[in-house]
Amino acid sequence: MWLDQHTKFDVDAVPHPVFGIAANILSHHDSGLHAHRVSQILFTRQGCVTITLNTTLCLLPPTRAAWIPAAIPHRAQIKSAVDYRSVYFATDVLEDMPKDVEILEVSEVLRATLERIAQASLEKDWSKGPARNLLAVCMDEIRRAPRVPTRLPLPSDPRLATLEIADLPPSLGRLRRQIGASEKTIGRIFQRETGMSYQQWRQQWRLMKAVELLAAGSRISEIAQELGFSSDSAFISFFKHSTGTTPRAYLRSLNTLSISASV
C-alpha cells in the first residue's frame, strides 16, 4: 500500500499476518524509539536510513534491507530523500530468522518480491494461489540473504555518556581530556564493549558516515572535510582500503542498483 509521508500509520493495528507499505520521504524524518508486535523488513531503493538500537548503530544503504525482529526497540532517522518499502510479518511467519537486527544484501529476486508485497493492498491474502508462491520465494530469499557489515556497536560505559555519534567522534587525545580517563582505560572500555579499539571504532564510524553522505549526493571534497581527512586523496585511500573500491566506483554501483530497482 502506498502511503503519503505525512500519513500516520499504526503497524500494530493491521490484523493481517503479512502486509507491506511503500513511501517516498522527501525531507528529514525521525521515527523516535519504538517497537512493533510484528517483524519488519525495511528496504531502501534510494537514500540512507540510520537505525539506532540501545547498543548498536546500523546504516541501511540504498538497495539493502534491514531485518528488524518484533519487539526490538529501534529508531529510524532519515536525513535526505528516501524511497523505501516495508514488509511486515507476524512472529509465527518467519520464526527461524535472527532475534537481532541484521542488514541484508538484496538480490534481484528479493527486491522484486518486496516490491510486489509492499505495493499490494493491505487486505491481500498471501496464503493461497500465486500470492502464496510469491511470499514463499520472498521468505526464502530473506533467509538466504548475506549479512552486510554496516553495524557499529555502541559503548554503554557511563564515562562515555557525552560521546556524540551524530558528528565525527573526537580524536583519542581529545576524548581523554573530555572524560578524564587515560587512553589505556578508554582502549579497554572499547575493546570490552565493542570488540574494537577506539581508533578502529572511530574509523568504522567514518566509513558508515561516508556511505551515508555518498548516497545523499555529497561531493568527495565535502565528505573528506566533514570526516576530518587531511585531503581528498587521504579519504579516497581510506575508503578504498576499507571497501576494496573507490568512492566514485561505489557511488556508480549505487546508482546502477537504484536504476535497476526502478525498472
Residue range 233-256, pLDDT digits in tens: 999 999 999 888 999 998 787 665
Closest CA to 239 of 208, 215, 217, 216: 208
Residue range 88-123, pLDDT digits in tens: 999 999 888 888 888 898 899 999 999 999 999 999
> Which residues on adjacent β-strands are paired with residue 68?
40
Q: Are 106 and 145 in contact, with CB atoms under 8 Å apart?
A: yes
The pLDDT score that the predictor gives to residue 263 is 45
The pLDDT score that the predictor gives to residue 259 is 47
**pTM for this prediction:** 0.79
Report which residue type is found at 71. Answer: A
Mean pLDDT, residues 225-232 taken together: 96
The secondary structure of the chain, three-state, reads CEECCCCCCCHHHCCCCEEEEEEEECCCEECCCECCCCEEEEEEEECCEEEECCCEEEEECCCEEEEECCCCCEEEEECCCEEEEEEEECCCCCCCCCCCCEEEECCHHHHHHHHHHHHCCCCCCCCCHHHHHHHHHHHHHHHHCCECCCEEECCCCHHHCCCCCCCCCCCHHHHHHHHCCCHHHHHHHHHHHHCCCHHHHHHHHHHHHHHHHHHCCCCHHHHHHHCCCCCHHHHHHHHHHHHCCCHHHHHHHHHHHHHHHHC
Report whether pLDDT(131) > 60.
yes
pLDDT level of residue 189 (50, 70, 90 thresholds): very high
Mean pLDDT, residues 151-162 taken together: 89
Q: Are 114 and 85 in contact, with CB atoms under 8 Å apart?
A: yes
The pLDDT score that the predictor gives to residue 73 is 95
The pLDDT score that the predictor gives to residue 68 is 95
Distance CA 144, CA 150 (A): 18
